A and B are shown apart, each in its own frame.
Chain A
Amino acid sequence: MINSERYHRQMILPGMGIEGQQKLSNAKVLVIGAGGLGCPVLQYLAAAGTGKLGIVDDDLVSLSNLHRQVLYSVADIGKSKATSAASKLEALNPDIEIIPYPFRLTNQNALDTISGYDIVVDGSDNFGTRYMVNDACVILGKPLVYGAISKFEGQMTVFNMPGKDGQSGVNYRDLFPVPPGEMEVPNCEDAGVLGVLPGIIGASMANEVLKIIIGFGVVSTGKLLTFNALTNSTYEFILGDHSDDYIVPGNVDAFMQANYDWNCALPGAGEIAGKDFFKMLQNPGVMVIDVRNRGELPIVSRFKHVNIPLDELADRATEFTHAETLIFFCKSGQRSRQAAGLINEKFRDGKLIYSLRGGLNGLDQQL
């Protein structure tokens, strides 16, 4: 039963009515990533009365999220984003079904998770997930509402939208066939992001979801929208046809066996986290290197280390000659992975080389 008072202001819109509201009530939308983009998407879709909302996120709320991830408050720090978001949204709209998935989406669980939904929204924060979600949506024939941000700029479009002719619209790989190399593109933690930017892009993504469900307006498929928050300049780029330059795993088996975790693939070097990191500090011959820039916060005093910023590393590699084990760290674990890869190429098999997975952020969450 539709609560016509709650939805009155949108039900009186042309093209909406009780039929449009009923379509919303029947719709099932999966939002991947409950971060800067996911928060506004979830808020508007819950408020509008989307019948079933799934929230996938394996991350925990941290203080540095709060300037842009507007569903969370100080009391949520250290708690699961998926479950915290779900409880906020239940308070906003108890008439809809909200399902948190507080785990990482991988190619082993993605098809099962996505198949119960009509529309997928990608607000994730890494390329491994973005390519994997794209391929899963292509295999399952689901429209994918895509948004991505960097510093002051955002991109938005709808991929894999089923057309009237039965053909699927272009997908992420038609625009970017090959995933970027290791660390080619900085994430929000390492590059920074203006808090309001994901609000603007995320609200625009929620708008696309509503248009797809209700069937009014023009869905932004086949064109990439870009927005610059500093200049307010917007562009629309026409995406053209499907490309022949890439391969989406053609079936479920190929998808399950594909390697989407290339970001973690560090040939010759490894990643360590939390407990293992502190254990390893006890070993002789271990050198710990902070590859953040000088003066970057927080200041680390919990363990002995030296500071060699990433861009000086290649020139100062001789300083590592006597160490048997090198452990690099930074804020998020991204620059330190790059450092581990770089130094590993120099020393080859001569040393054990590690990057602290999740960086200082990861340690903070465990302590």
Chain B
Amino acid sequence: MPLTVSLFGQLSDITGSNIIEVENVIDTNSLINNIKERFPLIKDNKFAVAVDKKIIRENTLLTEQSLVALLPPFSGG
């Protein structure tokens, strides 16, 4: 079962979609590495990571049901 990842702001410009699916990842670190390999431009971006709508700071184990979101900062006003 692939995991669904929501992307916000300029990250979705890089992937071409605001939702992507990622297979075979056990935690947030492996998920982010997987996404960076598929979309190398994401490497240059800073973003916050949320699992099940909670911002996390440390590597977090994922289940098939986990909802992951990547949120970059916006500067516009």
Per a CB cutoff under 8 Å, which of B8, B54, B57, B77 touches A123? Answer: B77
Using A180-B72, A238-B53 as known contacts, list a sample of 9 further A-B pairs with CB atoms less than 8 Å apart, ordered by residue number in A.
Answer: A124-B77, A125-B77, A148-B75, A175-B73, A198-B76, A224-B71, A228-B18, A237-B50, A237-B54
Closest to A150 in B: B74
Which of A123, A124, A224, A237 gathers most chain B CB within 10 Å?
A237
Q: Which 4 A-B pairs have CB atoms at the shortest separation, nearest pair first?
A: A148-B74, A150-B74, A125-B77, A188-B76
- List B contacts of A37 (CB < 8 A): 77
25 inter-chain pairs at a CB distance below 8 angstroms, sorted by A residue, are: A35-B77, A36-B77, A38-B77, A125-B77, A130-B75, A148-B77, A149-B77, A150-B74, A153-B9, A175-B48, A180-B45, A185-B45, A185-B75, A186-B10, A187-B75, A191-B76, A193-B76, A198-B76, A235-B53, A238-B53, A238-B54, A238-B55, A239-B55, A240-B54, A240-B56
Docked-complex contact A178 and B77, CB < 8 angstroms: no
- The answer to whether B73 and A180 touch across the interface, beta carbons within 8 angstroms, is yes
Please, which residue of chain A has its CB at the minimum distance from the CB of B73? A176
Contact with B along A174-213 (1 / 0, CB 8 A): 0110101100111110010100001000000000000000
* Residues on the A chain within 8 Å of B6, using CB: 235
When distances are taken between beta carbons in the complex, the residues of chain B under 8 Å from A276 are: none
B37 at the interface (CB under 8 A from A): no
Whether A148 lies near B46 (C-beta < 8 A) is no
**A 115-129 to B, binary, CB cutoff 8 A, 1 in contact else 0:** 000000011111100
Return chain B residues, CB-CB under 8 Å to A153: 8-9, 74
The smallest C-beta distance from A227 to any residue of chain B, in angstroms, reads 11
CA A340 – CA B8 in complex, angstroms? Answer: 28
Task: Say yes or no: is A155 at the interface (Cβ < 8 Å to chain B).
Answer: yes
B21 within 8 A of A: no
Q: How far is the CA of A125 from the CA of B76 in the complex (A)?
A: 5
Report Cα–Cα, A169/B77, bound state, in Å. 23
* Interchain CB contact (< 8 A) of A237 among B44, B71, B76: B71
For the complex, give the distance between the alpha carbons of A240 and B45 in Å: 22
* Residues on A with beta carbons closer than 8 Å to the beta carbon of B53: 235-238
Nearest-neighbour CB distance to chain B for A254, whole angstroms, equals: 23
- SS class, residues of chain A in contact with chain B: mixed
Query: Which residues of A, 217-255, contact B by the 8 Å Cβ criterion?
Result: 224, 226, 228, 235-240, 243, 245
Q: Is the CB of A185 within 8 A of B73?
A: yes
* Minimal beta-carbon separation of A10 from chain B (angstroms): 27
Q: For the complex, is A20 an interface residue (Cβ under 8 Å from B)?
A: no
Tell which of B9, B18, B46, B69 touches A150, judged by Cβ atoms closer than 8 Å: B9
Give chain A nearest CB distance to B15 CB in angstroms: 15
What is the 8 Å Cβ interface bit string for chain B, positions 40-77, against chain A (1 contact, 0 not)? 00001110101001111100000000000101111111
Task: State in angstroms the CA–CA spacing of A123 and B77 once bound together.
Answer: 5
In the complex, A7→B68 CA distance in Å? 45
Q: In the complex, A35→B8 CA distance in Å?
A: 23
B76 touches A235 (CB 8 A): no
Whether A51 sits at the interface, judged by CB under 8 Å, is no
Q: Does A359 contact B (CB under 8 A)?
A: no
